[in-house]
Structures are given as structure tokens and as C-alpha cells.
Structure 1
Amino acid sequence: MSTYVFSDVHGHRATLERVLERVSPCAEDVVFCLGDMIDRGPDPVGVMRVVRSLPNVRVLKGNHEDLMLDALDHKDDVVSQANWAINGGMATLSGLEGASDDEASELIGWGRNLPLSAHIEVAGRPYIMAHAGIRPGGPLPADGAWNDCALDALIGEQTPDDLLWIRDEFWSVPTGLLNERGEGPIVVAGHTPTPYLTSMTDEFDRPVRNSDGIAQMVRVGACDATGDVADRWDIDSGAAGGAGFGQITMVRLDDGEEFAEPVRDGE
């Protein structure tokens, strides 16, 4: 069994399908999607269909799913409608209107019930998953043991806004969760396309763009205090920016291998 994580597909169904074809997750594998399936790209509803069909998938809500639900719940609220529209929501609305009433209702209901965070242990390492990240400074276990109770307590201190929207306050400072031996949970998040991180930190394990100039995932924060282990992974490799800017990256937590496909023209 392997564990995979990806995020921020933003309507690029064809690109996602190419990544999945390479990875070919089986029924025993765990696949995490950290939200922002929708908006901006050409086929947001198609992305929702693909993600929902994956075996053993665990999907988190992103800020774009939250924007969608707010707009659909407050159709007479000009601010809610404008917030969704300016963030690419018309592509998603068009897709929902093109689906059958039953399917649209089912997809919206599914999105409404998505959790905001998750955690899992892989190869002896705990990982915390959230769409945007966490606010540093949460409770640490007194005995240093990051069991389920300790992870639940830390996540329980986060607000929905933290988990869905946080940026600078997360990426610009250490989480404080790793000790000097590099032991402790790593936080995996999306939400912030990696090129945007250059205004928040310079503690990258690699450039934020690959040799072709395309955004790529980065690991942040490795230093002496963390045993040279990066405490934050940004897997939003810029698919929202489309062809020539971004790609979709899926990372396997078991060994850190990355599977990435750039967004192509027209998809």
C-alpha cells in the first residue's frame, strides 16, 4: 500500500488524468486530494467526477470549494457571488448547470461535507494535511509522542480560515513541530502556488520553477533546528496559472517520489 497526495487541480481534468495514468493507484493505496478541484480551468466538474471516483480517496475542502458553497447558499448576496466569480467560479457554475439536477445536487452535497484536515502516519512519519496550512504555535505533546490524540489536539486548535486560507503566517515561519533530530509531523499543503513563496521565505529545497520555467513543488524549512528536515511541503505547483506556468504534482509519501504533468494548451 502506498500513500499519494495532490492538490489544486483547478479544473484541469485532462492534466490530472495523465498524472493518474502514470501513478495508477490501486484499491489498497490511499490518495489524498487537498482541495481546490474547481474553478479557473476548463472542466471543474469533470475534475470532481474523476477525484470522487478514485479508489480509497480522501478529499479535503479547499477555499475554492468554500467559495462555491457560499455563493450557492447566498444567491442574493452580491459579495458572495462576486467573490466566486472573480476567482474563476463561472467555469464551475457552467459545469454544474450542464450536469443533471441529480448529479449537480450530489456533487454539491459531497463538497459540502468534505473535511478541512487529515493526518496519517507513513513509514513512521506523521503527516498533517490541510488545504492552506496551519497556524504555528499549537499545543505540543508533553512527552513528545505524536500519536493520534496529539495530532487531533493540534488540528483542533485551528480555525476554518487557517486551514482554508492561511499563507504568509504559515510559510514564513517554522511550524515548531520537528525536534532537532527531525522527528515530528510534516505539514503538507497546497493553496499557495510555489512561485508566490519567494515573497514569504527563501528556505527551499530547490528552485520554485523547474528547468522549463514551470512551477514545481518545494519543501520548506530544513535547518539545524529541524535536523535538516523540511517541516512544510507545498504541493501547489501552479496548475491554476494554466499552460506555460503550472503543472499538477502528485507525491508519494512513502519515498517522496513525485509525479508531475504540466498543463498543456487547451486543457
Structure 2
Amino acid sequence: MHYVMSDLHGEYEKYKEMLSLINFKDEDVLYVLGDVVDRGKHPLRIIQDMMRRPNVIPLIGNHDYMCLISLYYLMKEINDTNIQQFEDENHLEIIRLWIEDGGQPTLEEFMTLSKTDREEIIDYLGEFNLYEEVCVNNRDFVLVHA
């Protein structure tokens, strides 16, 4: 069976409840159409659950994109070679906008993780597709976060 979810926004309990309601199995496929992170209490629990499931296909939403850019930037080590990048007002503005638009819970949860887990989450977010073409029951679909 094929399933589609979108705009989970950190609502881990609702995500798990929905998986239970549809009796999601290993042979099923779930497309998550973006905005997994931000606003809710546990966006990274959702991400970590999705990471463990090869049958969950994530697409990137605007919140996921801003999160990825911000977390990648915040994880960079500051040294003599790249110090000027950290003075770039554009990066700081993106982070500010992300936090104001619901990114605070994601950032707070991110900071509780180990460095390895943080790096894995950034890598995983970077693998989200923009769109997915799917054929189900001889019908073609283009899935996007729009």
C-alpha cells in the first residue's frame, strides 16, 4: 500500500498514531511531503524514525530546507580560514527567520543530541528530494511540497 503524509511539524505522537492507524508495514511505502520539522515538540524523533525506515520517502518542505541550512551553518567549526563566513548577515537572517517561524523546538531538540546524531540528521535532511514521480494503480502522480 502507498501512503502520503505532509506537514507533520514535529508532532511525533500524531505521526506514530497515524502509522498505527494505517497499520504501516515493511512492504508499504510512505511518502512524507515535507515540513517534518519545526513547531511541535519532537521533530527530530520523527526524523530519526524515518531514517530507520527504508520504505519512507521524504520530500523537502520549506521548513526542512531552512532547518537544513541553519543547522549545517551552526555545526560548522569556526577557524581562521572561514571566520568571515560567520559574519555573513544573510546566514544570520536565515537562522533568525527559521527560529521565528517555528524552528526553536527543532533547535532545542537538536542541541540535546550527540555530535554523531546531529551529523546524521543533517546528512539525512540533505537527502530529501524536491519531488517524486509515482505510479499507483496505473495512475501517474507527481508528489511535491507545495
- Which category describes the TM-score, using the shorter chain as reference length? 0.7 to 0.9
Q: Return the alpha-carbon distance in structure 1 between the equivalents of residues 73 and 24 of structure 2.
A: 38
**TM-score under structure 2 length normalisation:** 0.84
2:71 and 2:122 in contact (8 A); partners too = no
Unmatched segments (≥5 aa) in structure 2? 75-85
Number of the residue aligned with 1:64: 63
1:84 aligns with 2:98: yes
Q: Return the alpha-carbon distance in structure 2 between the equivalents of residues 127 and 59 of structure 1.
A: 15
**What is the deviation of 1:55?**
4.6
Task: Point out the structure with the larger helix share.
Answer: 2
Identity in percent? 30
**Alignment map for 1:21-60 (pairs within 5 Å):** 21-60=20-59
Q: Secondary structure at the match of 1:82?
A: helix
1:5 aligns with 2:18: no
Report the structure number with the largest CA radius of gyration: 1
**TM-score under structure 1 length normalisation:** 0.47
Number of the residue aligned with 1:106: 120
CA RMSD across the alignment: 1.3
**What is the deviation of 1:87?**
1.0
Q: Secondary structure at the match of 1:94?
A: helix
Q: Which amino acid aligns with 1:130?
A: V
Q: 1:9 to 1:68 in 2, by over 3 A?
A: same
Q: Secondary structure at the match of 2:4?
A: strand
Q: Secondary structure at the match of 1:127?
A: strand
Number of the residue aligned with 2:13: 14
1:26 and 1:55 in contact (8 A); partners too = no
Q: Which amino acid aligns with 1:119?
A: E
Between 1 and 2, higher relative CO (CA 8 Å, sep ≥ 6) is seen in 2
Q: Which amino acid aligns with 1:27?
A: D
Q: Return the alpha-carbon distance in structure 2 between the equivalents of residues 53 and 15 of structure 1.
A: 18
Unmatched segments (≥5 aa) in structure 1? 133-267
1:25 and 1:55 in contact (8 A); partners too = no
Q: Return the alpha-carbon distance in structure 2 between the equivalents of residues 120 and 73 of structure 1.
A: 30
Q: Secondary structure at the match of 1:88?
A: helix
Number of the residue aligned with 1:122: 136
Which aligned segments of 4 or more residues in structure 1 are displaced greater than 4 angstroms? none
**What is the deviation of 1:66?**
0.6
2:72 and 2:122 in contact (8 A); partners too = no
Q: Return the alpha-carbon distance in structure 2 between the equivalents of residues 113 and 125 of structure 1.
A: 26
**What is the deviation of 1:13?**
0.2
Q: Number of matched residues? A: 131
1:74 and 1:80 in contact (8 A); partners too = no
Q: Which amino acid aligns with 2:134?
A: I
